[in-house]
Amino acid sequence: MLTDKVDQRAVRSAIELASHAPSVHNGQPWKWTVGRRVVHLNADRTRWLPATDADGRDLTVSCGAALHHVRIALAAVGIRAAVHRIPNPGEPDRLATLELAPGRTTEADLELAGAITGRRTDRRPFSDWQIPGDSWRRLESAAVGQGAILRIVSVGGPRAVLLEAIREAGAQQKDRPGYATELAMWTGRRAGDDGVPAANLLNARTTGMPASRDFPEGDIGPYPLGRQDGAELAVLGTASDDALSRLRAGEALSAVLLTATSLGLATCPLSQPLEVGVTRRTLRDDVLSGTLCPQIVLRLGWPPVGAPLPATPRRSFADIATVEQDH
Ligand SMILES: Cc1cc2nc3c(=O)[nH]c(=O)nc-3n(C[C@H](O)[C@H](O)[C@H](O)COP(=O)(O)O)c2cc1C
């Protein structure tokens, strides 16, 4: 049995490890409430980006990624979590309640937990080596295991449509009031414990990078003009588009990213075409043939040769968690 003391320290370190989860603009829009046998995950709406993420999808997907990270981090230290997603419809910001009990650690838990601190959002052009079929199958089953579908968008018709939707979303967001301000506030940072550092952004617009968001200029590169991005593209989708589906999409995003990292692949989530109504519908109807609700796009591939990317900063445990001993 776990003693209370071990419980508290193990749970705290699991939450600290889970804080490495990806989030839109590294806003880390989550708050944890930690009891003796229970952990609650709450959305932190003070970190919502209304101009970028008008319908709150990115915020819920980010929290879903943190939820999967914490489940893996707990499992890796022998704690089983029974998860109740959106346990109280009257309290929409309470996204999950985890009931903790002693459990067993599997090899798979350890493999994914081991990938958490090494995962990076990599915006550099990827090598043009193909991802082998058995690696794709592992990525697809990682998504299915969390209740979502990873649809590979192969070269040809759908890929061209997806690339055009990414370009169109960028063009529309440029004119959206508040979008540029949020981008300037949250990205291209030189200090702080949140936001996207300049050290993780490209230092000049690299041609051959059509699948990317336009960020302020950063420190990586430059890459030679004409350097093509060899990344493969995939869309993560769910059967519905309610809050529960978005949360599960975030869990699936985390599972796919950590599996990819453990396979040595580079990854970059792209949410821009989901943030604009018209391009979101294009993804649903013309890329996914109307069969799934798209939740996020992914660039996947082999990383370029070069120095590893630095880790992005995270807020401290005291800033993201409240400990309540009496429940
Ligand atoms: C829901 C969501 C949306 C994101 N959208 C984008 C995006 O459109 N473009 C991009 O380059 N990165 C995107 N990211 C990646 C974040 O910027 C990244 O996770 C964050 O800066 C932390 O860095 P890290 O992933 O290297 O830890 C997104 C991440 C999440 C979870």
User: Which residue's alpha carbon is nearest to atom 4 within ligand 1?
Assistant: 24
310 CA → ligand 1 middle, Å = 14
Does the pLDDT value for residue 260 go beyond 50? yes
User: Ligand 1 pocket, 268 CB below 6 A?
Assistant: yes
pLDDT for residue 4 is more than 60: no
Work out which ligand 1 atom sits closest to the CA atom of 215: 11
Q: pLDDT tens digits for 275-310?
A: 999 999 999 999 999 999 999 999 999 998 888 899
Burial class (CB in 10 A: 0-12, 13-18, 19+), 102: exposed
Q: Is the pTM of this model over 0.95?
A: yes
206, amino acid identity? T
Q: Which residue has the tokens 């995003």?
A: 253
pLDDT band for position 326 (cuts 50, 70, 90): low
228 — pLDDT class (breaks 50, 70, 90) = confident
Please tell me the predicted confidence (pLDDT) of residue 170.
96
Q: What is the CATH number of domain 133-301?
A: 3.40.109.10
- Dihedral Cα 303, 182, 20, 253, nearest 10 deg: -60
H-assigned helices in 53-128: 57-76, 107-115
> Contact at 8 Å (CB) between 178 and 197?
no
CA distances from 184 to 89, 166, 192, 200, 274 (A): 35, 20, 14, 15, 20
pLDDT score recorded for residue 225? 52
Mean pLDDT value across the chain = 94
Q: Which atom of ligand 1 is nearest to the CA of 65?
A: 31
Q: Give the number of the atom of ligand 1 that is nearest the alpha carbon of residue 272.
A: 8
For the CA of 309, the closest atom of ligand 1 is 26
DSSP character at residue 285: I
Burial (CB count within 10 angstroms: exposed 0-12, middle 13-18, buried 19+), residue 37: middle
Strand, coil or helix: 34 = strand
Instruction: Give the SS3 label for residue 143.
Output: helix
Contact 203, 220 (CB under 8 A): yes
Angle between helices 243-262 and 107-115 in degrees, nearest 10:
90
pLDDT value of position 61: 99
The Cα 75–Cα 173 span in angstroms is 40
In the chain, residues under CATH classification 3.40.109.10 are 4-119+312-323, 133-301
- Could you name the CATH architecture of 4-119+312-323? 3-Layer(aba) Sandwich (3.40)
Report the distance separating Cα 19 and Cα 22, nearest Å. 8
Residue 21: CB atoms within 10 A of its CB come to: 26
pLDDT in tens, 137-186: 999 999 999 999 999 998 777 999 999 999 999 999 999 999 999 999 99
pLDDT in tens, 103-117: 999 999 999 999 999
Q: What is the pLDDT of residue 1?
A: 43
Nearest to 140 by CA among 29, 299, 228, 252: 252
Residue among 108, 82, 84 at smallest CA distance from 96: 84
Taking CA atoms, 36 is separated from 16, 203, 244, in Å, by 17, 47, 26
Whether 3 shows a pLDDT value over 60: the answer reads no
Answer whether 299 contacts ligand 1 (Cβ < 6 A): no
Instruction: Say what the pLDDT of residue 209 is.
Output: 78
Give the H/E segment covering residue 146: none
Residue 194 DSSP code: S
Per-residue DSSP letters for 149-178? Answer: EEEEE-TTHHHHHHHHHHHHHHHHHHTSTT
Mean pLDDT check: name the lowest of 72-76, 124-128, 260-264, 290-294: 124-128
Using the mean position of ligand 1's atoms as its centre, give its distance from the Cα of residue 155 in Å.
Answer: 24
Q: Which pLDDT score is estimated for 224?
A: 64
SS3 content of the chain, % helix, strand, coil (to 5): 40, 20, 40
Q: Which two tokens stand for residue 49?
A: 């980006």
Q: Would you state the pLDDT for residue 118?
A: 98
CA 39 to mean position of chain CA atoms:
21
